[in-house]
């Protein structure tokens, strides 16, 4: 039986939900059904969409939104925030180390080949220290819950974590539709995230920056699945949204085309993958990046957030070593546990995984969005057989984890409420200090019994409340 975050086994509301539960019980179901329709109208009017690659029926979809908030107590949040901060600082120290002295490899805590043969490891970053020593300026840490005091980190997103626009729009929609709830409950703010993001990025401007740092968001363009978010963040931060074709290296600086000519950029929040960032350094056929930007970067004339090469920190094979990484760099045990993980590159682990495929979740080490994975208990015998062949062909490309009984939060359905599994992605900003946004994006599996919460796989989202003391 999954842990229900709102209701106890005898159907009583847990402490964080007591005010909301009383309010919900007093509402006319027809009124709430209409509010659900209103929310969809708001999202459609605002244009909050995402693209689903490979779907012929529609290139743009609305992300489903549920009107019952997920509520986290102040004490629960303090514990989560402390564990997240420890983890993010360890990730940054790990990146600093593997691109410089590689002490963790010399100490035998991580195999050298796991770093050096990893596609996400960039030799171009060896010996280079980003402005301020920060590699991971924006991090999304995916957390799951299995019990009242049982939280696990499912994965780290250190490249270009997405979804924060949904967190902000979910809150704005809830405040617009249910203003009374925010007077009855002391909910911590998330609305100032764009301001905090700009402030955090500006704080990491290169040393030679004079005056107010100029920040811009680099997008691959309108056909990218997260383009709405790129435009949203640029707009709410009050900075320019640019594509590679808008930028050029002139006189040793990255400059942006404007009506007044080309003007220098100090900080570039890039939503373009490493491979496409600079055709002179990485993929020569890329039209999404800026030719020569890596030379400007290495000369200390621009800050790129997140730094190139950070992808190795969210590789799922590296994830399995996170307890050792945290202890190595902080001297303390991890406050938030990893999900137990089998590395299929190890023969004994591979044998175990193949034998227990029917009860495990198997993921690609570079995968994201719920693609390229097998949920053993939900798969057919044929699907498991085909996946086993993939595993045997490229074992180092996969890790496996137990099928956790994720916590549930009720969603609103026409017949009342029904429990659905959720995860949580809090967002972290790193500059000269660490700022963790209170809450984050709750993703919910809308299909009964499903454990897959990704929007690309049919999941939805909820507003996440962190209560004040």
Q: By the 8 A CB rule, do 74 and 252 touch?
A: no
Q: What is the pTM of this model?
A: 0.92
Give the alpha-carbon dihedral of 95, 96, 101, 102, to 10 degrees. -20
Architecture of domain 207-301 in CATH? 3-Layer(aba) Sandwich (3.40)
Residue 394, both tokens: 């490229």
Q: Where are the alpha helices (DSSP H) in 141-282?
A: 164-177, 179-184, 193-203, 227-237
Structure-token match 């984890």, residue found: 401
Chunked into runs of 10 residues, the chain (469 residues) has average pLDDT values of 93 96 94 92 77 52 89 97 98 98 97 91 96 97 95 93 93 96 96 97 93 96 90 97 97 95 96 97 96 97 97 90 97 96 93 95 76 85 94 93 92 89 97 96 89 74 96
**Strand positions, DSSP E, 311-454:** 337-338, 342-343, 360-364, 374-375, 398-402, 408-413, 416-425, 427-430, 434-436, 441-444
Q: Where are the alpha helices (DSSP H) in 284-356?
A: 293-298, 316-319, 322-330, 347-355
Class (C level, CATH) for 342-402: alpha beta
Location of each CATH 3.30.1490.270 domain in the chain: 342-402
HSE of 462 in the Cβ direction (CA atoms, 13 Å)? 27
d(CA 453, CA 424): 10
Location of each CATH 3.40.50.11290 domain in the chain: 207-301
DSSP secondary structure, 78-125, as one string: HHHHHHHHHHHHHHHHHHHHHTTT-HHHHTTSS-HHHHHT-TT--GGG
Chain mean position to CA 368? 10
Q: By the 8 A CB rule, do 84 and 425 touch?
A: no
Residue 238, both tokens: 């009050």
């Amino acid at each position: 039986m999954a842990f229900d975050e709102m209701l106890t086994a005898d159907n009583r509301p847990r402490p964080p939900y007591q005010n909301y539960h009383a309010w919900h019980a007093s509402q006319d179901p027809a009124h709430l059904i209409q509010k659900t329709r209103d929310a969809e109208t708001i999202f459609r009017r605002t244009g909050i969409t995402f693209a689903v690659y490979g779907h012929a029926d529609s290139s743009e979809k609305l992300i489903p939104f549920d009107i019952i908030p997920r509520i986290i107590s102040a004490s629960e949040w303090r514990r989560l925030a402390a564990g997240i901060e420890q983890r993010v600082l360890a990730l940054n120290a790990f990146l600093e180390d593997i691109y410089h002295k590689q002490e963790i490899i010399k100490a035998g805590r991580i195999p050298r080949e796991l770093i050096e043969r990893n596609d996400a490891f960039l030799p171009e970053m060896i010996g280079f220290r980003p402005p301020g020593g920060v590699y991971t300026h924006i991090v999304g840490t995916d957390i799951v819950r299995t019990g009242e005091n049982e939280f696990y980190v499912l994965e780290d997103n250190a490249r270009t974590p997405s979804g924060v626009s949904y967190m902000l729009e979910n809150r704005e929609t809830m405040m617009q539709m249910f203003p009374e709830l925010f007077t009855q409950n002391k909910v911590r703010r998330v609305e100032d995230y764009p301001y905090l993001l700009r402030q955090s990025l500006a704080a990491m401007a290169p040393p030679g920056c004079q005056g107010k740092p100029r920040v811009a968001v680099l997008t691959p363009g309108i056909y990218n699945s997260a383009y709405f978010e790129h435009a949203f963040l640029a707009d709410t931060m009050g900075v320019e949204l640019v594509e590679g074709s808008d930028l050029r290296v002139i006189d040793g600086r990255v400059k942006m085309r404007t009506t007044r000519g080309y003007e220098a950029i100090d900080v570039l929040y890039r939503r373009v993958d490493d491979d496409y960032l600079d055709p002179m350094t990485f993929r020569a056929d890329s039209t999404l990046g800026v030719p020569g930007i890596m030379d400007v970067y290495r000369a200390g004339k621009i800050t790129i957030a997140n730094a190139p090469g950070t992808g190795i920190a969210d590789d799922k094979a590296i994830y399995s070593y996170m307890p050792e990484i945290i202890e190595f760099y902080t001297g303390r045990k991890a406050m938030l546990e990893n999900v137990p993980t089998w590395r299929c590159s190890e023969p004994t682990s591979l044998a175990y995984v193949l034998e227990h495929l029917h009860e495990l979740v198997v993921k690609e080490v570079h995968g994201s969005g719920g693609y390229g994975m097998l949920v053993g208990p939900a798969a057919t015998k044929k699907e498991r057989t085909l996946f086993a062949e993939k595993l045997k062909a490229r074992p180092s490309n996969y890790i496996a984890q137990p099928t956790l009984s994720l916590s549930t939060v009720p969603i609103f359905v026409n017949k009342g409420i029904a429990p659905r599994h959720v995860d949580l992605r809090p967002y972290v900003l790193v500059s000269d200090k660490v700022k963790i946004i209170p809450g984050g994006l709750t993703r919910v599996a809308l299909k009964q019994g499903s454990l897959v919460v990704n929007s690309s796989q049919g999941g939805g989202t909820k507003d996440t409340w962190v209560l004040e003391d």
